[in-house]
Structure 1
Amino acid sequence: MKNKLSKGIKIMIIIALLATLLTGCQSEPTSVDYDDTINEEGSNEPVYGGEITVAFQSAPDNFDPDHPSADWVVTAVTNHAYEGLFEFSANNEAIPHLAESYTVIDDGKAYEIVLRKGVKFHDGEEMKAEDVKASMERWFKVNPAGAAIAHSLVGIDIIDDYKILVKFDEVYSPFINILASPVSRQKMLVKKKEIIDKFGESIITEHIGTGPFYFDEIVMGQKVVLKKYEDYTHVELEPSGLSGKRVAYLDQVTIEFVPEESVRVAGLQSAQFAFIDELSTDRYDEVENFPNISPTAANFGTIGVVAFNSGKSPFDDVNLRRSVAYAINPYDMAAAQVGDSKFWSVDDGSWFTEGSIWHDATAGEGIYDSQNIEKAKEFVRNSNYNGELITILGVRADMYMSNGALVLQNQLKDIGLNVEVQLYDRSTYSDYRKNGNWNITLSRWSDMNPDPQVFEPWTGTNGWITNWDDEDSRRMDEIFKRMEKEIDYDKRYEIVKEFYKEFWKSVPYIKVFNDKRLYGIQDNVRGYAGYGQPFFWNVWIED
């Protein structure tokens, strides 16, 4: 078993400064080091056959991975059926997957991509360059990551059935990393040209991919049934992260959407579910004591985020956004949203964790983790805020979101803001957020970001969630424009530090803390990798 925390996983306590958490004194949370070895108990020889049922907390509105509403769950589900030209390894390197190779030409303005031969779609037809071109053209129009760079696209030429040429009018250095991005709403996944011709930019509801599983049944809001694709053609590389060989040992994976954690945990205990996501730290010890069941953590974690609707009053005012940054107590937020401090940390204002070439330990100095009520009130006084009602929008069944919203509400009331929490079902929440009927929402973003350029569609003018459009957003656009053209990594890092500085000056949204996503899994489920989002290729059932 990979990433067992106490049953087979080494937990290293790095820092423990004890103090009371919720009484005004802050404590530095324990930091956890997760051993990356697989449990050696029993046989590790893969076994073909069998079925499993897993339980995910959230039910998405659709399964179109390009659509701007696609979230973590959409990505986790569709990764089984769709694949990218490139996929990220466990070392955060973009590795050819449906692509065989690529060449950067014309001084970084063009990319020649050679495709693997013999890759079959789920209807038995071979993937060709026309499918990749159609998929990429739609990606540039619909997917937020693609749309963010579409202005630079000159065109996509088909050289032959297995080769395309992507041309830009200027250098775009992170192109391959963005194509492979494991973050929701970013990766370029290959679909059949026939399907794209049928749906265009509308939400795709017929799914034909190249992955090791295909969609056999979709019952919106309830479940997805994935079945093994017998003619799947895998890449001949060792598995690493999302890259490398994918084998469907299981005949079927049924994903049920179960919002209530108590139901998910009971189903895990009764063996109805082989795996459950979103295990709270409050239930960790309970699940650890279940026979033949283990809690497990993803190798990559998530980032708690407070996002503003910066496109409308009152948070189109940077001073009011800054007031929230100084009002937030990240320790109280993390304790409410995650729980046990073994599973979260308040580190620094960098969007990349220590060890990444893009990490900057000085990011956010003076504002991140710098709660100052009087300073926050001063920023309120310097803003245009006149006591109007501020709504924090959330999903009722999502305790991570709803608990955080209630704590944030109290923190903002302490600086004199008139705040109301509005909790809805996920569909209504999505409609409200899409239509701009909100002021603040809480989110949870992956920290397995492949490149700083991934923040462009979230952070620049009219970015996802924020709707930000002012002089500050256009200054951010200019920083990203220089970032995308710089090929030299040392020089690019200096631009990334500019991004951090401008970000924490204008705060279109706020990083609050880092945490680990916890899951529960049956011990007879072998081969589970625990990389980022859950996936069940290379997984088998041990007798």
Structure 2
Amino acid sequence: SKWEAKDEYTVILHVETPSIVLLPVLAEVGQFAAIMPKEVIESAGTSGITEYIGTGPFKFVEWKQNQYVHLKKFDDYKASSQPADGLAGKKEALVDDIYFHFVTDNSTRVAGMISGEYDLSVMMPWDAAPQFKNVPSLETIQAPLGIHTLIFNKQNGFLKNVKARQAVNLAIDKKEVLTAAVTDGYFRLDPGYMLKEQGLWYTDTGKEIYEAKDTEKAKQLLKEAGYNGEELRILTSRDYSQHYNSAVAVQQQLQKIGMNVKLDVVDWSTLLDRRNKPDQWEMFFTSWPVSATPLQYPFLDSRAKFAGWTNNPEIDKLLDQIKAQSSQDKAKETFNELQKVIWEDMPVVNIGAYDSISVKAEKVKGYQEFLGPVLWNTTVKE
């Protein structure tokens, strides 16, 4: 692909082949297409840019390591006249200052919201929701977060065998796992790799495999796969309680069908390092935030080389077909085929969909969430 500057306010992207997912990928908030001053790009080293220049209604003031990031209203910003819509449209800075405080301890964050020390907190622990609902000055916001998955090592060890992976799926009580991870009221049992809210993509293909739970059949598949009591390691971290609690629940469920399962508990940075080493684990849990398209899940595409090392030519072929389709309807039809293959080959197990919890003070008005907190058009009324 190649970018061309047409004039002072226009750039053109030339691509080798048409792609139905091009615009969603350009709009992706995690890895977005950014236009920056030429000198910022030219001064970037191998680790990326060092100067951050944006175009929003707030400007950066200070980042005090391990304490806070301070943003201030940018008086020279000119808002669009279009209605606010997701991350587009009119964006007004209605407060003078925003401080993002880094508070890693959940109990401290909960106490800070209840005491009024903070105006807003996102990604709160699910089991704290009842506490917030008992405080009249607080409002709880529940929003779709993504899917919760068990990743299999398909490069080394016993789980290279598809029958072994299918046996694990049959042994898992997904409701029990999600209850341990998230608590009732904040998850949905659903086979979809795209959320129900994503009508352009959603399908429940594979529902019969997702819902199947049969310990006797699981034991039979283990026998057919040649299981001889080998130790299988679930790599996990207490840094994310939903991952650790899921690992504990699955360990217990797999032991019931005769599998020798060990929890390997490390800190999160160590997990990120070790999951790239195929000799050091057999399974790990991770969650995936809402993605605009299924092509953005790295655990599907063998060319992505993501931990777990999916290697299925049929999956790769269907991903390419989705990208090349001429309409969204045809892309969705192909994704329906793809989800069928995913549930049959089982590179991962989708445990289900779950929601996030944010909490705000009642005095915070106009606040919305769209793939995360949206702080423009938000004010605080004492």
What TM-score do you get using the length of structure 1 for normalisation? 0.65
* Secondary structure in structure 1 of the residue aligned to 2:141: strand
Q: Alpha carbon RMSD of aligned pairs, Å?
A: 2.4
Larger mean CA deviation between 389-398 and 500-509 belongs to 389-398
1:217–1:440 Cα change, 3 Å: farther
Deviation at 1:360, TM superposition (A): 1.8
1:257–1:307 Cα change, 3 Å: farther
Deviation at 1:330, TM superposition (A): 0.9
Q: Distance in 2 between matches of 1:254 and 1:274?
A: 10
Residue of structure 1 equivalent to 2:282: 439
1:440–1:194 Cα change, 3 Å: farther
The residue type equivalent to 1:252 in the other structure is D
- Structure 2: runs of 5+ lacking an equivalent: none
The residue type equivalent to 1:367 in the other structure is I
Deviation at 1:259, TM superposition (A): 2.7
Matched, 1:193 2:32: no
* Secondary structure in structure 2 of the residue aligned to 1:319: helix
Q: Is the 8 A contact 2:119 2:364 kept in 1?
A: yes
Residue of structure 2 equivalent to 1:345: 188
Residue of structure 1 equivalent to 2:11: 164
Deviation at 1:504, TM superposition (A): 0.8
Aligned pair count? 381
Q: Distance in 2 between matches of 1:410 and 1:205?
A: 47
Residue of structure 1 equivalent to 2:78: 233
Q: Distance in 2 between matches of 1:334 and 1:511?
A: 11
Deviation at 1:201, TM superposition (A): 4.3
1:219–1:433 Cα change, 3 Å: farther
Residue of structure 2 equivalent to 1:180: 27
CA displacement, residues 483-516 of structure 1 (integer Å, 9 cap, x when unaligned): 1111133322221111111111111112112222
Deviation at 1:345, TM superposition (A): 1.7
1:479–1:405 Cα change, 3 Å: same
Residue of structure 1 equivalent to 2:238: 396
Matched, 1:516 2:355: yes
The residue type equivalent to 1:533 in the other structure is G
The residue type equivalent to 1:505 in the other structure is E
Residue of structure 2 equivalent to 1:285: 130
The residue type equivalent to 1:422 in the other structure is D
CA displacement, residues 45-98 of structure 1 (integer Å, 9 cap, x when unaligned): xxxxxxxxxxxxxxxxxxxxxxxxxxxxxxxxxxxxxxxxxxxxxxxxxxxxxx
Deviation at 1:460, TM superposition (A): 0.8
Match of 1:501 among 320, 340, 343: 340
Deviation at 1:355, TM superposition (A): 6.4
Residue of structure 2 equivalent to 1:531: 370
CA displacement, residues 429-451 of structure 1 (integer Å, 9 cap, x when unaligned): 3332345543322222224x323
1:223–1:354 Cα change, 3 Å: closer
**1:226-305 aligned within 5 A:** 226-298=71-143, 300-305=144-149
CA displacement, residues 174-215 of structure 1 (integer Å, 9 cap, x when unaligned): 211111134x4x433344433333334424454222223333
The residue type equivalent to 1:223 in the other structure is Y
Matched, 1:422 2:261: no
The residue type equivalent to 2:368 in the other structure is A
* Secondary structure in structure 2 of the residue aligned to 1:458: coil
Q: Distance in 1 between matches of 2:352 and 2:124?
A: 18
Residue of structure 2 equivalent to 1:480: 319
The residue type equivalent to 2:78 in the other structure is T
Matched, 1:316 2:160: yes
Q: Is the 8 A contact 1:309 1:465 kept in 2?
A: no
CA displacement, residues 449-497 of structure 1 (integer Å, 9 cap, x when unaligned): 3233333x33111436444253x2x221111111111113332222111
Q: Is the 8 A contact 1:326 1:375 kept in 2?
A: yes
What TM-score do you get using the length of structure 2 for normalisation? 0.90
1:326–1:205 Cα change, 3 Å: farther
Q: Distance in 2 between matches of 1:321 and 1:290?
A: 45
1:407–1:254 Cα change, 3 Å: same
Q: Distance in 2 between matches of 1:242 and 1:453?
A: 21
Q: Distance in 2 between matches of 1:204 and 1:408?
A: 42
Matched, 1:459 2:300: yes
* Secondary structure in structure 1 of the residue aligned to 2:218: helix
* Secondary structure in structure 2 of the residue aligned to 1:286: helix
Q: Is the 8 A contact 1:311 1:466 kept in 2?
A: no
* Secondary structure in structure 2 of the residue aligned to 1:400: helix
CA displacement, residues 85-126 of structure 1 (integer Å, 9 cap, x when unaligned): xxxxxxxxxxxxxxxxxxxxxxxxxxxxxxxxxxxxxxxxxx
Deviation at 1:285, TM superposition (A): 1.8
Q: Is the 8 A contact 1:278 1:518 kept in 2?
A: yes
Q: Is the 8 A contact 1:259 1:397 kept in 2?
A: no
1:434–1:198 Cα change, 3 Å: farther
Deviation at 1:220, TM superposition (A): 4.6
Q: Distance in 1 between matches of 2:137 and 2:310?
A: 53
1:433–1:356 Cα change, 3 Å: same
CA displacement, residues 333-380 of structure 1 (integer Å, 9 cap, x when unaligned): 11101112x22221334523166032223x113310212112222332
* Secondary structure in structure 1 of the residue aligned to 2:92: coil
Deviation at 1:517, TM superposition (A): 0.7
The residue type equivalent to 1:368 in the other structure is Y
Residue of structure 1 equivalent to 2:207: 365
Q: Distance in 2 between matches of 1:387 and 1:219?
A: 51
Q: Is the 8 A contact 1:308 1:465 kept in 2?
A: no
* Secondary structure in structure 2 of the residue aligned to 1:445: strand
1:355–1:223 Cα change, 3 Å: closer
- Structure 1: runs of 5+ lacking an equivalent: 1-152
CA displacement, residues 211-242 of structure 1 (integer Å, 9 cap, x when unaligned): 23333333454432233333233333211112
1:181–1:355 Cα change, 3 Å: closer
Bigger relative contact order (CA 8 A; separation at least 6): 2
**1:84-123 aligned within 5 A:** none
Q: Is the 8 A contact 1:394 1:429 kept in 2?
A: yes
